[in-house]
Amino acid sequence: MQYFGELQTKYEEVFVTSSYMYFNAQDEEDLSIKDFKQKIKSGKDRKKNIIGTIYMYNPVVTPMGFDSTKFLLDQDFDTFDQMIELKAENHITVYKQAMQKSCVGKIVEIKNLFNLNEKHIDSATLLDKFNNDLEKYNSSQNTEFDRDLMYFDPVNFIPSGKFVLFSWGEKLNKKEFPNIHEYAQVIYDTTVKLGKQIVFVYKKEKSYEGSIYLLQFPTPMHNVKYKNAIASALKEAFKEFPPKSAFYV
């Protein structure tokens, strides 16, 4: 599997504005950047080659050839605003293991609630900023984070492929951060209206319906205690195609 994406920077922050996983066939050579871009060049190409979309919370990625333990802007990286290959590590390996067989030869697009490429962005201070930004998103008011780099339009974005995997974790809190919750709600409701095959994993005691009500969709990156159980549930979800939601205990 190869992992591609585009990074942009502004005000000393790094954002991942697009990213994709390509599931190579067993005997297939790695794609060049040029070859990969051809697969998503037009709407027709995207429809043919993208099999599904994953919604995550935020990216934590590193370009190939760079140090994952160091801040990217402190390194000699300057390949912004163009498609590059990224390291397939950490959370990406979980999806690779779950999807490899059912998505072979195809692309899965990744979209994030927040495009900020940084670990641990769930502090109350940052969430307050996101919440305030999203209140202003559809107005002419200035947002603290660049609206085009940090967020995406949940009303007009159409997820690619036959399935949509919701995997943004269990951090959403309607009472504390209502605008973030509404942002996520619009994303989920739009996906339902489009008739996509919706997939997520959930804790059995919380229930399928309860996860939808709370918009909380577990991911191994945010739940260390149940990391292995969630990873196993993801494999179960993609055991057949089209995938279907699966629970863990």
Count CA within 13 A, CB hemisphere, residue 102. Answer: 21
Q: Among candidates 89, 128, 115, which has minimal Cα distance to 7?
A: 115
pTM for the complete prediction? 0.95
Q: Among candidates 135, 114, 134, 136, which has minimal Cα distance to 123?
A: 114
- Listed as ranges, residues in the chain with pLDDT below 70 are none
pLDDT of residue 221: 84
Distance CA 230, CA 221 (A): 10
pLDDT of residue 140: 82
Distance CA 230, CA 213 (A): 19
pLDDT of residue 222: 84
Tell me the pLDDT tens digit for each residue of 107-143: 999 999 999 999 989 888 999 999 999 999 988 899 9
pLDDT of residue 224: 83
What are the domain boundaries of the chain?
A: 2-248
Nearest 5°: the CA angle 112, 113, 118 is 70
pLDDT of residue 118: 93
